[in-house]
Amino acid sequence: MDTGTGIVHIAPAYGADDLEVGLKYDLPIIYGAQLDGKFHEGPYKDKFFKEADKEIIRDLKKQNQSLEVRTI
């Protein structure tokens, strides 16, 4: 892929710029991970957010909800 797709993610709970855009478009503010960095509910409960990456990516691919995954 030589050019961008125009697809981005936004996480209003995790950054000033994302919060500003989220508020502008009335997006929900969802705290997936708590202050300790762990998920406190759902399928990744009690896992540190970076430790859950591989499982989350696997699950998104399995559900055909991931176009591409890159590490920056």
Residue 9: its pLDDT value, please? 81
Which two three-digit tokens encode residue 15? 């950054």
- pLDDT surpasses 60 at 1: no
Q: By residue range, what is the domain housing residue 12?
A: 1-30
Residues 44 and 72 in one domain: yes
Distance between start and end Cα atoms, the chain: 15
Residues 15 and 45 in one domain: no
Burial 3-23 (b: 16+ CB within 10 A, else e): eeeeeeeeebeeeeebbeebe
Q: What is the pTM of this model?
A: 0.63
Q: For residue 50, give the amino acid letter.
A: K
pLDDT band at 2 (very low <50, low <70, confident <90, very high): low
Count of structural domains, the chain: 2
